[in-house]
Structure 1
């Protein structure tokens, strides 16, 4: 069974995508223009991925989107997505997992032909939380990991929005440590990163590539990678061409899977192959137009496995995440 550490399933449903359709049917009526869909439940089943982190992602207001402008609006988005996951579970499409024992049982019994997709809830950006006192509500709802930032949040600086942890962020990380909620370091600005891993060392990066090959604070510096490795964390590789090759633009030929292997090998050289996994982020704000060549749909993920060294394929495609989950949930 393979594991993907980052999929925006409920967010995509909120855009009007019906993930219960076959991919061809979804593409024929996709309400999202310009980003050709790759992910459906049937594609996940065909791929061999039986378990994932499913996000609760509240979109903030940007110059491109009319998103939230307050924590109340962010909370409303996250609650709608939580309800979507619960409705999928009621329909037998997924199984929400919230403990190491449940993850272990799911992995042992998983049958691609009959088992529902295992989903652990990951909050991407902490603005849906009113404050640290709200953490217990989300933990009881099944959230087992939180990333403080996406862009700038009330808790920390993030992608294209440099800044440190705020006092609110420090309080939240302390609360997460006490309740056993892990920290997702993806999107966290470097100015906040090193204090954050001291505050809550139960951490990982669900979907982050290497700054050695692509510039910008969205990506991990070697020092950040080592800090994750020192805490036995795992880093998920993102399958977005702009995150794989410096300077790539959509009018160019898509990158090949050798670029993904290059990031993987760089991470392995810093922290060992045990720290490398997949966090594809497929359909996470981009479509097939920006995936590597060979990844035309989610079930093509086997081609990523084939691009990795033979002796680490099972580790990277699932084993490392399974070990981390069993040790940290």
Structure 2
């Protein structure tokens, strides 16, 4: 086991990271007042928060302060979050076993019920105009994105159904390939990109006014999507492969350039395993240690391993590095926020532990020399530009 300690320290040293305790402080130093002011002055859109599935598995009333999770109304207001895209997450097993259509509808029902129970705190956002109109009302606008297109079930009438229910983006696949596209995590590349139906679905999503999300898909599926799509696409919660070599789930520089040429936007995922090589490799180190010890890589082993080899949490600066990289590569107009709160377990960076901490991000951007105009684009302007372009394309097709 000792050699993994040495390996951990070696990689940390090469990456400029620090091994933190397994229960780091909730945030770094209080942000300066200007950052707090900007968090309230500008719309903040976060395109990926996994509240619906969190509540499906472990219900809490998120209209008040909660003991668990990274999102609730008080913390959202504190952080200035105006429009979270609530992830209608469908696990990959539903592609094999069925039931995805049912689960998606239930999760949407739950979000509508949340608004119904707390109409003074939440409102649905069915288009970009709703987000703008509801800004300043004290309400958190809940937009909906479907993570994994399994519930479409190969039927364009289901796309229409979910559009009517408020879904405004679909992540084409998740952790396994489905009937639409190959997944970046799945070594079986059945379709070598998009399936025939997936190609049909891209056009249909353009025509109906639904954003196409290429997070999770294989590289081939990504390039086929941007070639086919007549409207900008998004990566709702992806970070950069240059910081996590070999991790196909993230985007490489050529993909970012192609996304920018398409007019799209990459929304940076905050999870430590998405933004640092050491955290990305931590699971493999643990599995190797379990194999060497001849024991199961179970919860008990993970706990013991973490005591000897603390998880290498990323920091606020690491996330800022990803934003900087996109800006230097393609410009300020193609990057935003897709935190993956409530979706990446306890792997969130020091300083960005929940939805109250967006001012920390803003403070970091200010310290790195970003202007207010730049910051507004990162917080929401770039995503809203894409959303409007998708809406306008669909409107033009209907005339």
Aligned to 2:212: 183
Distance 2:233 2:376 in 1: 22
Q: 2:174 aligns with which of 150, 155, 161?
A: 150
Structure 1 residues 224 and 56: CA distance shift in structure 2, 3 A: same
C-alpha offsets along residues 215-268 of structure 1, whole Å, 9 cap, x if unaligned?
Answer: 311000111111111122111111111111112236234221111111111111
Q: State whether residues 92 and 148 of structure 2, in contact with CA within 8 Å, keep that contact through their aligned partners in structure 1.
A: no
Distance 2:58 2:269 in 1: 24
**What is the Cα deviation at residue 193 of structure 1?**
1.0
Structure 1 residues 159 and 40: CA distance shift in structure 2, 3 A: farther
Would you tell me which structure has more strand in proportion to its own residues?
A: 1
Structure 1 residues 322 and 106: CA distance shift in structure 2, 3 A: farther
Quick check: 1:84 aligned with 2:110? yes
Q: What SS does structure 2 have at the residue aligned with 1:284? A: coil
Structure 1 residues 56 and 230: CA distance shift in structure 2, 3 A: same
Q: 1:192 aligns with which of 204, 211, 221?
A: 221
Aligned to 1:130: 153
Structure 1 residues 49 and 79: CA distance shift in structure 2, 3 A: same
**What is the Cα deviation at residue 50 of structure 1?**
0.6
**What is the Cα deviation at residue 142 of structure 1?**
1.3
**What is the Cα deviation at residue 202 of structure 1?**
2.9
Aligned to 2:272: 241
Aligned to 1:34: none
Higher relative contact order (CA 8 A, sep 6+): 2
Distance 1:73 1:230 in 2: 37
Distance 1:205 1:299 in 2: 23
Q: State whether residues 56 and 82 of structure 1, in contact with CA within 8 Å, keep that contact through their aligned partners in structure 2.
A: yes
Quick check: 1:26 aligned with 2:67? yes
Aligned to 2:59: 17
Structure 1: 5+ residue stretches without partners: 28-36, 62-66
User: What is the root-mean-square deviation of aligned Cα atoms in Å?
Assistant: 1.9
Aligned to 2:129: 101
C-alpha offsets along residues 121-166 of structure 1, whole Å, 9 cap, x if unaligned?
Answer: 1111100112223211111111121111112111111131153111
Q: 1:210 aligns with which of 229, 240, 253?
A: 240
Q: State whether residues 81 and 355 of structure 2, in contact with CA within 8 Å, keep that contact through their aligned partners in structure 1.
A: no
Structure 1 residues 139 and 22: CA distance shift in structure 2, 3 A: closer
Quick check: 1:69 aligned with 2:96? yes
Q: State whether residues 19 and 26 of structure 1, in contact with CA within 8 Å, keep that contact through their aligned partners in structure 2.
A: no
Q: Give the aligned length.
A: 306
Distance 2:241 2:221 in 1: 17
Q: State whether residues 306 and 313 of structure 1, in contact with CA within 8 Å, keep that contact through their aligned partners in structure 2.
A: no
Q: 1:228 aligns with which of 245, 248, 259?
A: 259
Structure 2: 5+ residue stretches without partners: 1-42, 283-305, 392-399
C-alpha offsets along residues 274-311 of structure 1, whole Å, 9 cap, x if unaligned?
Answer: 11111000111413xx1111223320221112122331
Aligned to 2:319: 260
**What is the Cα deviation at residue 209 of structure 1?**
0.3
Q: What SS does structure 2 have at the residue aligned with 1:69? A: helix
**TM-score computed with the length of structure 1 as normaliser:** 0.87
Distance 1:317 1:101 in 2: 16
Distance 1:101 1:318 in 2: 13
Q: What SS does structure 1 have at the residue aligned with 2:88? A: strand
Distance 1:18 1:122 in 2: 21
Quick check: 1:51 aligned with 2:83? yes
Aligned to 2:185: 160
Would you tell me which structure has more helix in proportion to its own residues?
A: 2
